Amino acid sequence: MENNLNKHISGRFNEELENVRNHVLSMGGLVEEQLNLALDAINDNDADKARKVSENDYKVNAMEVNIDEECTRIIAKRQPAASDLRLVVAIAKTIADLERIGDEAERIARVALDSFTKDQQDLLVNLENMGRQVSKMLHDVLDAFARMDAQSAFEVHKEDAKVDREYEALTRQIMTYMMEDPRSIPKIMDLIWSVRSLERIGDRCQNIAEYVIYFVNGKDIRHTSQEDIAKTL
């Protein structure tokens, strides 16, 4: 929550940290928009939307570079310690994951550039359904980051298990389809890579959730069981 953030930031450079945090949220908004546009491109079979995702990826990359430079300046100028340093570290790690989510969104959009038969439409529908699940995960983790809410971040963290199950089920379905129709393999491989990209986005969202918990509680919960994470909240 907002007071959670203020509690951890020393007054001297509160404005600088607020500024860089707002830039992260802007970047997150753009990445979320990119993912949703990629999913819309697949759902609508719209090549123009797919190309727009590809064209806008440079904006995501530029934002990462700019925010990273801001973090470097803050560290050099302010030499933050304790929770202030944790915030800068959390921001730097978050933007790296957001940039990679942007890359995955671009890969997903490429599926919309292919033409699929009517028999393959069910696979696309399932891909889009998984995509909406992952998109909600991204939206929720950005909200948790905005409020620096560890409990909300933990809820997102738990969602990744559902995404993994969906990934396994959809991958099995696609593999079965390819075995039944080997001629479809070249085209369907793009679909497999898109499903993999969605699973990776889920992993990235889980990472961001961990950074929020790290900032709020000062504990690195990577490679920690859900039960043990719950004990830290």
Distance in angstroms (rounded) separating the CA atoms of residues 223 and 190? 31
Residue-wise pLDDT for 13-67, tens only, equals 788 889 999 999 999 999 999 999 999 999 898 999 999 999 999 999 999 999 9
Is residue 149 classed as helix, strand or coil in its secondary structure? coil
Q: Are 207 and 104 in contact (CB under 8 A)?
A: no
Residue-wise pLDDT for 132-190, tens only, equals 999 999 999 999 999 999 999 999 999 999 999 999 999 999 999 999 988 888 888 88
